[in-house]
Amino acid sequence: MMIQDSQDECNGWANYATWNVALWTSNDEGLYNLARGYRHSRAPYQSFVDDMREFGILETPDHIAYNDRSLDTDALDTMIQEL
């Protein structure tokens, strides 16, 4: 897989980092189930990240931080709301 610059659009997402976080969140059963619990939160993605931090999980297996500054958190909020 070719890693793209974090500022380039990737598979319909704003950038590689956002795509990677969305990919792991929606395809890992544990992360998916955790994220689903925040579908009705005011800030679904931030609530998800806060809990991940409590569990000591700070990044995806591909080493993208769940609080990376380049993440499109609005798109990740929408993704979680649609889980």
Q: Could you report the per-residue pLDDT of 41-82, keeping only the tens digit for each?
A: 999 999 999 999 999 999 999 999 999 999 999 999 999 999
Phi, psi of 36 (to 5 degrees): -55, -30
pLDDT score at 30: 94
Q: What is the CA 23 to chain-centroid distance, rounded?
A: 7
pTM of the model: 0.88
Q: Could you report the per-residue pLDDT of 6-55, keeping only the tens digit for each?
A: 457 899 999 999 999 999 999 999 999 999 999 999 999 999 999 999 99
Q: By C-alpha distance, which of 69, 65, 73, 19 is closest to 46?
A: 73
- For the cut 70, the answer to whether the pLDDT of residue 5 exceeds it is no
